[in-house]
Structure 1
């Protein structure tokens, strides 16, 4: 970074507090034949404790500033707000000051900011290359890089390609474009293998488990479909399994526990009044009405 001479530093120090950086750098270049970058200028001023004039103003002591901003903010960009404030009071607030004022006052500009507004028409809409004056050599370069109708990105994998997810599952590429919903071009391979081996799709709520715990073993005998409730039950009993036989044994325990729980909550007759009721807990022997009587 070029070091500033004492004369250049004094020139900057005098004008920095009251001049926007863009105008200051342009004037500096016209005066000295070169100019530092905006970041270098800000760093230079910070190191020397030189601040913009608006940083020293007690905004809370000037209610007229807030009144003006409430009227000036709607429909204007931050730069336009700063211009209007400068024209009214002779002080140009920084962009951060304007943003803080908008948040503090709860007033929004209602503009699109740096985005295109809804309904914006591109500048080249409906215009041909001839109308835009594009030379032939430029057209050739544009044709070479244009995305053709029906084209695919260069890194698109062919149908049938496989990949391994971060969780260790193998996925198969089954389509180049979305089929029924987004991101359904890839399907878990073990689900496809199970479907082909059993001649049906998995029902809603069903998942496929690997009997030996190896996600790369896609032998149909190693794939067992269970409901999500059964899968949760396997976690709850904490019974390990290492092959299909031990997995099916653990599933029998889960299903037995589910059947017992269902039987324990079946309707029964109250031991006090004899009426049938549906219990709220397993050991409930009296209906709620009799329980309320004590």
Structure 2
């Protein structure tokens, strides 16, 4: 269980308005170097009666979590793979953003087991082999150096459930290290790493427009004001003007606070 600091609590209250839980989690993780999940943000908001005042998202994953095709795929490949490995395989094959916890729960609900030692208590039936286990032999097992049939090379792109473009940047490491938001990659290639406490804004609010000229580096505090004051526009120039106004609003707020403190 994550222990929230006072600074994190205050920050979530400041940025929650007008944002989905996944977006809040991204901002919190970027600022504090944490690995907060969307679910943890949802629970925190519920416990502290914080609302974002947004319409419910249209689900991009079927109500039953997996479609018939996806369910059949999991059943065929469940043996010999850990929950994380299976989740990564499903995500890459069907362009999903499922978590290993979701896959684990789905397996339990459908009486499926990987056959691995550990929490499920069985030795893997394909111990000593490479690749995926299939009933009837190892015809689909991977030979050394042979890529998986669903392998996507570095540079491949996909759209996540929030509408952002993801690009594969590496074949190594966990899923979230191999796939990154393309707009961040594009900005960093031109300007360097994104400073702590900053985010990349789409000037015209179009998440598919990843032209470098449409990407603006701003402080998270600026983004908070932009959202609160309704200063984000589909017109890129109006958004740029809004950023200037946001700085003015921030300075006015700071001046008022100083004046108020001096009167105490």
Q: TM-score, normalised by structure 1?
A: 0.41
Q: Which has the higher contact order (CA 8 A, sep 6+)?
A: 2
Larger radius of gyration: 1
Q: TM-score, normalised by structure 2?
A: 0.45
